[in-house]
Structure 1
Amino acid sequence: MSLPNLLSLSFLVPFVAAKNDFSRAIRGLRGMQRRLLLVGHKLAAGGVALNTLVTVTTEADAIALFGEGSMLVAMWRDAKANADLGLPIDCFAIAPNGSAVAATSIIAITPPGNLAMSGEVMLYVGGERVSVGVTTADTANTVATKLINAVNANVALPVTAAATANLYECKLTARWGGPTGNDIDLRTTYYTDDRLPNSLIVTVPAMSGGAALPDVTPLIAAMNLYRATEIVCPFTDSTNMAILETELAARWLANNMQDGTVINAIRGTEAANTTWLSTRNSPHVHTITTTKDCTNPWELAASAGAAIESLAAIDPAMPATGIKLAGYKGPSQGNHWTIDQLNNMLVAGGCPLQIAPDYSGTLLRMVTNYKKTTSGAADRSMAELAWIKTMSYYRWFHVTEFQTKYQGFKIAQYITDPIPGQKIMTKQLGEEIMIGLYKLFMDAGLCQNMDYYRKTLVVEVDGPNGKLKVQDEPVIVTQHYQTEISSFVVAGQV
């Protein structure tokens, strides 16, 4: 055996040299670093600079950085409520468009005159309940004033309230400009036991008028040399989606490998949602599709993104199904998708939720926006999010394995067996490494069928260029979504 020298042979001074090498200290699978990135708007009260990546660990920090009532504080709260311990949450405060207009809604309380009975008037703003007590001494005007005061007293709401020239009205204005404010859900009654006083009418128009889109280009620049494995972005317009999809596609290439995925949420009718999905085809984007729910889409996306990435940190091949989203308020009874509509969403590349009788929501099945090849042929090869997450981890593990354990090796094209004690990469050693790693993935329930893997594994040494070339065909473990049972009944004696 010829062991490598630690000291030069020309160094003759009596000396004792000892080297510690930690490259083999960790055996078995390693955890891939995962990060959740929330992209959204801050308020002027927030202390962080715009277009800056920052890690946020506590609620107090989120409020100080982005301002109470901001989009990002709400997203952070929902992400934290659905994240496992140890998942870092980063945030990026993007600047609104310089000419952005905030969405508004004018709520009307009628009829005039004193109320016919005492009771409670409630208003749900993005799923958050605001209520005031009223008596027969109150008029429509005083009810409107009470609502204005109650809304403004809750500084966590995404809107502020003000009076109009008509004293029976309450004008709500989104705290930030842009079209996302149009998606803030407003309603009076939600649960079956919500009751307005008899004869009192509260007219609540949808938020509207929010306009002028932000530009996510500064996010792309800030992500240089930074990797988030799950990115929550609320801007679903075609321009910003194209920017994100292009960046993600580049990050999945072999010369980059800073791969990640984007999650967003859209709310609308079946036709509106499937129309939006028909314009998207990225395997690196997954979209929650809802209808008539209370929770703001950016908060829902933050909740789902945290839950999905927390599961992937434990096992990237586990199906993200049956996971309840803490804090989510879904559509009320009778207003959710039918089973055919659920299927239509999934086929179109969207991810509907399963809604429980208490209006809570759980992840049903996570698919990506990918549906077709570049030539337009139907293709589901990259439609399952769990497959994308599995191969992201598979690639990361193999790359880091060679980076940590086999740097500084020589390479030999004609040596059939590694020389003991010498750091020489050979075809045989490369095969042993790949098969050994595959065994780890099989033991972890991520891959299967070792015989096929061995037969299809190709390893070559390119000595003149110092390259080890590997082509493998991992057979990944897939997900269990359906069960089919055929029972052939026999009645009586057999």
Structure 2
Amino acid sequence: MASPNISFEKIPASIRKPGKYIEFNTRLAVRTLPANAQEVLILGQRLAGGEVPALTPTRVFSDAEAAAYFGQGSMLHRMVRAAIRAYPYISITCLALDDAAAGVAATGTATLAGTATGSGVATVRVGLDLVQVAVASGDTAADVAAALAAQASQQPDLPVTFSANAGVLTLTARHKGALGNAVKIAASCTAPGLSALVSTMAGGETDPGIAAALAVVASAGHDVIITPYADETGLTALREHLEFTGGPLEQRGAVAAYALTGTLASATTLAGQVNHGRISGALLRGARRLPWEIAAAYGAVIASEEDPARPLNTLTLTGVDAPDVADRLTRTEQEVLLRNGVTPLEVGPDGTSVQIVRAITTYTVDPQGIEDVSLLDLTTIRTLDYVRKAVRERVALRFPREKLSSRTPPAVRGEILDVLRKLEELEIVEEVEANKDGVICERDSQDVNRLNAKIPTDVVNGLHVFAGRIDLLL
């Protein structure tokens, strides 16, 4: 208490000793908007040989660190590698999970038959990884299978392990769980006299639950969460976590990314089961890259864009392979996906790169089942989160110990309008002047210590569609 327009934090009004006393006030120093650097959380399974135990949030800065922390060739190691390749400057925290106690590892086989009558190369493809050995005339199927198993043991980054028995290679997923069924395998041999037949990976069951892991980081605050578990159970747990952390009391809004490589029908069905404005699922049908690696790349690209209102259209997922032409999504299929809560990934004009068509969330209908586009684009919820952050930080800086008098509401309203105008300068919101009368700050009718605010926010939308008509004049 000092004078009607000047208050002091450290100079008391009761001093009587003569002097010139001056304190520093830093509450008015910050006049800009807060930074929007994106913190990424990656969930995934670890191997027993990893240095970091499960459920221990760990900052990771390189491929080599991820291999040491979580085991070389582990799901989490490969996800970190994919994320860094897609966005080298990503800020990553990893949270490892152990395989489920009741889990079963997926297996597949590559059966070699015959005896080589000439030289060549035998190849087993695991996703995009190749295991290759030279074949000489006279080598039997058993010889080649044993050589391939020996070579695979020298490639610890593989998502599977090899064992050979009488010409039959058995490939076993490094991790237990249903995700191992998604590993694509193929085999071939260029040496005459030898043939190869593959049975796909199958039999994997029971992925680990993520609820306990998410509880560990509930208070940490991350902007993008990448999950390998693209199923209703895992995504429901993630949805509950995001609703809690992104709610009005916790105010740590985040978005989540997952990816699929299967059918259009399975992707749209899953999106309908999730139906949430903070979760985005991408489909790259027919990709050989492991789905959780695609999820890591997709999440990394989301994190690479700090402007929350800027669309992600055409951004490339570096390191993700282009599927065969027959598997690529048609324009009609992309429209179906975009109407059903799935982000389509397509092959770029160079024929090899994979890029985002339009990043959307799985939210398509409201609780009544009525079609709702309010949170369709991923940019919308990211923009709202940033606006909340900017307003909250400004009010906290300006009014850390404010009294609530008749002068307080207009002062708070003025700061909110200043934030909105600065957001408009960056094309994050628009029409601030037109909506300024709707910005209201008023005392609560029940709590004498509470100030309420209404902040109309017209978010800037993405330019996704341009339509033109060309009139022919002769």
Amino acid of the structure 2 residue aligned with 1:383 = L
Indicate the residue corresponding to 1:324 in structure 2.
316
Residue 175 (structure 1) shift: 0.9
Indicate the residue corresponding to 2:240 in structure 1.
246
Residue 196 (structure 1) shift: 3.5
Q: In the TM superposition, what are the counterparts of 1:461-480 in structure 2 within 5 Å?
A: 461-462=443-444, 465-480=448-463
Is the contact between residue 62 and residue 84 of structure 2 (CA under 8 Å) also seen in structure 1? no
**SS of equivalent residue, structure 1 residue 410:** coil
Q: In the TM superposition, what are the counterparts of 1:225-264 in structure 2 within 5 Å?
A: 225-264=219-258
Indicate the residue corresponding to 2:341 in structure 1.
349
Amino acid of the structure 1 residue aligned with 2:94 = C
Matched, 1:132 2:126: no
Separation (CA, whole Å) in 2 of partners of 1:202 and 1:47: 38
Q: What TM-score do the two structures reach when normalised by structure 1? A: 0.90
Indicate the residue corresponding to 1:381 in structure 2.
374
Matched, 1:437 2:419: yes
Is the contact between residue 39 and residue 92 of structure 1 (CA under 8 Å) also seen in structure 2? yes
Residue 383 (structure 1) shift: 1.2
**SS of equivalent residue, structure 2 residue 257:** strand
1:312-345: per-residue Cα shift (whole Å, max 9, x none)? x2x1111111111111113122221111111111
1:30 is aligned, of 27, 30, 34, to 34
Residue 59 (structure 1) shift: 2.6
Separation (CA, whole Å) in 1 of partners of 2:19 and 2:394: 33
Separation (CA, whole Å) in 1 of partners of 2:439 and 2:25: 30
Q: How many residues align?
A: 468
Residue 98 (structure 1) shift: 0.7
Is the contact between residue 158 and residue 175 of structure 1 (CA under 8 Å) also seen in structure 2? yes
1:392-436: per-residue Cα shift (whole Å, max 9, x none)? 1111111111112221112222x4xxxxxxxxx2x3222321221
Indicate the residue corresponding to 1:360 in structure 2.
353
Provide structure 1 residue ranges, at least 5 long, that are not aligned to the other structure.
190-194, 416-424
Indicate the residue corresponding to 1:51 in structure 2.
55
Q: In the TM superposition, what are the counterparts of 1:259-274 in structure 2 within 5 Å?
A: 259-274=253-268
Indicate the residue corresponding to 2:116 in structure 1.
114
Separation (CA, whole Å) in 2 of partners of 1:21 and 1:122: 70
Separation (CA, whole Å) in 1 of partners of 2:190 and 2:372: 51
Is the contact between residue 159 and residue 173 of structure 2 (CA under 8 Å) also seen in structure 1? yes
Separation (CA, whole Å) in 1 of partners of 2:6 and 2:22: 14
Residue 462 (structure 1) shift: 4.0
2:428 is aligned, of 446, 470, 475, to 446
Separation (CA, whole Å) in 1 of partners of 2:193 and 2:265: 36
Q: 1:292 to 1:406 in 2, by over 3 A?
A: same
Q: In the TM superposition, what are the counterparts of 1:395-474 in structure 2 within 5 Å?
A: 395-413=388-406, 415=407, 425=408, 427-462=409-444, 465-474=448-457
Amino acid of the structure 1 residue aligned with 2:74 = S
Is the contact between residue 115 and residue 138 of structure 2 (CA under 8 Å) also seen in structure 1? no
Matched, 1:335 2:327: yes
**SS of equivalent residue, structure 2 residue 274:** coil
Indicate the residue corresponding to 2:79 in structure 1.
75
Indicate the residue corresponding to 2:290 in structure 1.
296
Q: 1:83 to 1:465 in 2, by over 3 A?
A: farther
Residue 46 (structure 1) shift: 0.3
Separation (CA, whole Å) in 1 of partners of 2:152 and 2:26: 58
Q: 1:169 to 1:451 in 2, by over 3 A?
A: same
**SS of equivalent residue, structure 2 residue 343:** coil
Give the CA RMSD over aligned residues: 2.0
1:296-320: per-residue Cα shift (whole Å, max 9, x none)? 1111111110111111x2x111111
**SS of equivalent residue, structure 2 residue 325:** coil
Matched, 1:160 2:142: no
Residue 438 (structure 1) shift: 1.2
Separation (CA, whole Å) in 2 of partners of 1:203 and 1:18: 84
374-383 or 50-59: bigger deviation: 50-59
461-470 or 346-355: bigger deviation: 461-470
Separation (CA, whole Å) in 1 of partners of 2:325 and 2:150: 31
Separation (CA, whole Å) in 2 of partners of 1:268 and 1:401: 46
1:115-138: per-residue Cα shift (whole Å, max 9, x none)? 4x4332323212122222223332
Separation (CA, whole Å) in 2 of partners of 1:200 and 1:486: 60
Is the contact between residue 63 and residue 73 of structure 1 (CA under 8 Å) also seen in structure 2? yes
Is the contact between residue 116 and residue 192 of structure 2 (CA under 8 Å) also seen in structure 1? no
Separation (CA, whole Å) in 1 of partners of 2:272 and 2:384: 26
136-145 or 317-326: bigger deviation: 136-145
Q: What TM-score do the two structures reach when normalised by structure 2? A: 0.93
Separation (CA, whole Å) in 2 of partners of 1:310 and 1:247: 23
Is the contact between residue 162 and residue 169 of structure 2 (CA under 8 Å) also seen in structure 1? yes
Q: 1:118 to 1:483 in 2, by over 3 A?
A: farther
Separation (CA, whole Å) in 1 of partners of 2:347 and 2:6: 64
Indicate the residue corresponding to 2:99 in structure 1.
96
Separation (CA, whole Å) in 2 of partners of 1:219 and 1:16: 57
Separation (CA, whole Å) in 2 of partners of 1:381 and 1:84: 32
**SS of equivalent residue, structure 1 residue 445:** coil
Residue 23 (structure 1) shift: 3.0
